[in-house]
Structure 1
Amino acid sequence: MRRNGLKGRRSDCPVNFAVETIGDKWSLVILRDIIFWGKRTYGEFLRSDEKIATNILAGRLEYLEEEGLVSKSPHQTDKRKDIYMVTEKGIALVPMFVEMIAWSARNETWQTMDHAGTNQQRRFVERTVKTKNKAKLIEDVIEIVRRGGCVFEGVTQPSNPRPSRKRS
């Protein structure tokens, strides 16, 4: 394999590479929405609780496509829309998502937050923490996503609106 320097990266450290590729505030949220909630269109991503700005979303989707983590294709029935799907490169992040969920669930700060999740979400989070065979859980998620599904298929994502800030 021919080497081309650092290709604009700060270092050749694998952790740094991952942080520079997916470590911004939005990339993992977009990938989460595809993998776990089956969101596929720009409008669906905009309706996420995190309230991503339209210009940021457009830039992140373009970036994720350039990095090969998502693919974009025209909507079959509405040519004004594009459909975003996670690629094999994006699916390869499923183990990291499972570990992030388990890490968060074990974190005291996360535990003391209000949660508006569904029963399916609570069971999934609990499974990431308690399962003795995390490889099987990861395999199950990957299989679902590869066939075009999502982890919480058929489940309506609860809205968890941010509290409004009062101006003084």
Structure 2
Amino acid sequence: MSLTRRSLCPISQALELVGDRWSLLIVRDLAFAGKRRFRELLQSEEGISTTVLSDRLARLVEAGVLTRHGHPHHRQMAVYSLTPMGVDLLDVVVSLGIWGRRHLAVTDASGTPVADLERGGQAALEELKRRTLQEHVVNSSADGTSEP
């Protein structure tokens, strides 16, 4: 399941990895909704199928965007965490959210988090990334697992 490289263009390569309909939504749910387990991610309102979710999670883990750890209390349950590479995708996710809020029909509830980030500027985005990095990378690597 290696990443196809159609060119050496960084935009093309990034789109090969996260340019599908679901990958950035998975990153969104991990960062903003606190979802860390397969079943939680499956319950997102967009309605991803189990097959597609499994495929995207595997691709994101293989590419180094996510890590997959066993749950500390349930061996068969996996916990997903963003890596530093995954946390860096928050720049893209937030930018898409700001663009979507400006130009598309969204609800107040779905638009408020990005509106707050837009008002807070780069400092708010950096704080979000710092907190997410702490939650996903530092806490997950402390004992090899994560207890969200």
TM range (shorter): 0.7 to 0.9
* Gap regions ≥5 residues in structure 2: 137-148
Residue type matched to 1:125 in 2? Answer: V
Q: Would the aligned equivalents of 2:97 and 2:111 in 1 still touch at CA under 8 Å?
A: no
Instruction: Pick the aligned partner of 1:86 from 79, 82, 86.
Output: 82
Percent of paired sites with the same residue = 31
Corresponding residue pairs, total: 134
Aligned-CA RMSD value: 1.7
Residue type matched to 1:14 in 2? Answer: P
Alignment partner of 1:99 is 2:95: yes
Alignment partner of 1:123 is 2:119: no
Aligned-residue offset at 1:128? 3.5
Q: How far apart in 2 are the matches of 1:147 and 1:36?
A: 14
Cα gap change, 1:29/1:82 in structure 2, threshold over 3 Å: closer, same or farther?
same
Aligned-residue offset at 1:140? 1.0
Residue type matched to 1:147 in 2? Answer: Q
1:63-122 per-residue CA deviation (whole Å, 9 max, x = no partner) reads 100000000000011112000000001011111112111111110xx23x5x272xxx54
User: How does the TM-score come out when normalised to structure 2?
Assistant: 0.83
Q: Please say which of residues 8-17 and 35-44 is displaced more in the overlay.
A: 8-17
Instruction: Pick the aligned partner of 1:143 from 87, 108, 130.
Output: 130
User: How does the TM-score come out when normalised to structure 1?
Assistant: 0.74
Trace 1:48-59 onto structure 2 (pairs within 5 A): 48-59=44-55
* Gap regions ≥5 residues in structure 1: 1-6, 150-168
Q: Which has the larger radius of gyration?
A: 1
Residue type matched to 2:122 in 1? Answer: A
1:111-150 per-residue CA deviation (whole Å, 9 max, x = no partner) reads 3x5x272xxx54322224444xx2101111111101217x
Instruction: Pick the aligned partner of 2:37 from 38, 41, 46.
Output: 41
Bigger helix fraction: 2
- Moved segments of 4+, more than 3 Å: 128-131
Q: How far apart in 1 are the matches of 2:54 and 2:96?
A: 25
